[in-house]
Amino acid sequence: MRPCFTDFITYRGGGISKSGLYIDDLPGIPVDLLNKLRNCKEESSLSIFWTRFYERCVSNFNSLVTGKVGTKFYTGSVVESRITGDFGDDNNTTSEEYAGVKLSLPQSRYLENQILTIKLSVESFGSPEPKLYVFDKVGGNLIDTIDLEGIDVGLNAFNVFKTYDNEYLYIAYKPAEMVIKETTTYHRYHDGQNRSTTIASQINGGGLIVEFNNYCSIEKFICSRIQALKYAFWYHIGAELMKERILSETINRYTTLTEEKAEQLGGIWEEELNQKLDSALKDMKIKDDKLCMECRGVVARKTLLP
């Protein structure tokens, strides 16, 4: 879940809502419904119940917006999936503090990068176990570290599965901590003019083979327009809450909100949700993005008479 959703909509007593909207302000919701659902689900606290429920609402809202936006734009998913290069014949003997591979990602405001695996061919290493370091650029800020638990001499492959929201990434190691093979870049992937593919560059002899995906994030699109979508999201949470009420078999003895009333309210809020979402998306000026938000062109047909 992206930070823009954190506390964007909450419940009364659950912290300040960034949007100014609280779920228990929706008309028809009993003031104690959330606590009753928490008791029914046997959660240890209301905040734990809300966190799990809210995360599911965010996920479902993302899917809903994806479907709506997809009627006007070709919203790509994975737009690039590959590895950065191959091992060389010699060990990296650089005296620099860091060496590794730099990724210059395609230019798209909705793109995210997911590092899948990292391979390295190890000649020797010291103690404690070395780490990998992720920077926002060469000589830039450290944004993450990756443990190399279980590293050994020879070929090593580490599953990473981490997502980064940066235009540039420098994934590096410290040559003082281990001796590994140099790496070379697959030059056929270079596309410096169009920037439709990632440019991989070996820094100080490299040493890491990175397998990665670039994919289009609907959450980044939503977050860039979160204020315009707040009422749609509010009604979506209300509709999800009614589903939670209906599917909770043992809640009847806890609340006065009947299953029939919950179905009625859920239907009303589903309708409000779709109206608010359609209206918000209709009024948005979405810039065409050839990677992630390519506009569906209108094909005109003309009949030519003899």
Please state whether the peptide bond connecting residue 128 to the residue before it is cis, i.e. omega within 30 degrees of 0: yes
- Nearest CA-CA partner of 115 in 140, 145, 91, 141: 145
- 184 and 95 assigned to the same domain: yes
Same domain, 166 and 244: no
Q: Which of 185, 207, 229 is the last residue of a domain?
A: 207
End residue of a domain, out of 183, 207, 231 = 207
pLDDT of residue 121: 97
pLDDT of residue 268: 92
pLDDT under 50: residue ranges of the chain:
190-193, 298-306
Residue 91 corresponds to which tokens in the numbers above?
A: 């060990």
pLDDT value at position 257? 75
Q: What is the predicted pLDDT for the residue at 299?
A: 43
**Dihedral of the CA atoms 228, 232, 236, 242 (nearest 10)?**
130
* Same domain flag for 235 and 197: no
Measured distance CA(22)–CA(24) in Å, rounded: 6
- Write the single-letter amino acid at 51: T
Fill in the DSSP letter of residue 225.
T
DSSP letters, 2-48, are -GGGTTSSB-TTS---SSS-BGGGSTT--TTHHHHHHHHTT-S-HHH
pLDDT value, residue 276 = 93
Give domain status of residue 142, yes or no: yes
Last-in-domain residue among 175, 207, 239: 207
Distance CA 152, CA 133 (A): 18
Structure letter (DSSP) for residue 201 = E
Chain Cα centroid distance, residue 230: 19
Rounded-to-integer distance, Cα 245 and Cα 298, Å: 43
Structural domains counted in the chain: 2
Identify whether residues 94 and 170 lie together within a single domain: yes
Exposed/middle/buried for 209, CB within 10 Å: 0-12, 13-18, 19+? buried
Contacts of 137 (CB under 8 A, 6+ apart): 102, 168, 170
Query: Cβ distance 63 to 278 under 8 Å?
Result: no
Is residue 302, in this structure, part of any structural domain at all? no
Q: Give the pLDDT score at 194.
A: 52
Residue 306 lies in a domain: no
- Cα three-residue angle 164-168-170, rounded to 5 degrees: 85
Three-state DSSP at 290 gives: coil
Same domain, 95 and 189: yes
The parent domain of residue 243 ranges over 3-74+219-295
**Cβ atoms of residues 95 and 129 within 8 Å:** no
Same domain, 89 and 161: yes
Neighbours of 41 (CB within 10 A): 15
| Residues facing 133 on adjacent strands | 145, 172
In terms of DSSP bridges, do strands 178-185 and 142-147 run parallel, antiparallel, or are they unpaired?
unpaired
Instruction: Look at residue 67 in the predicted model and tell me its pLDDT.
Output: 87
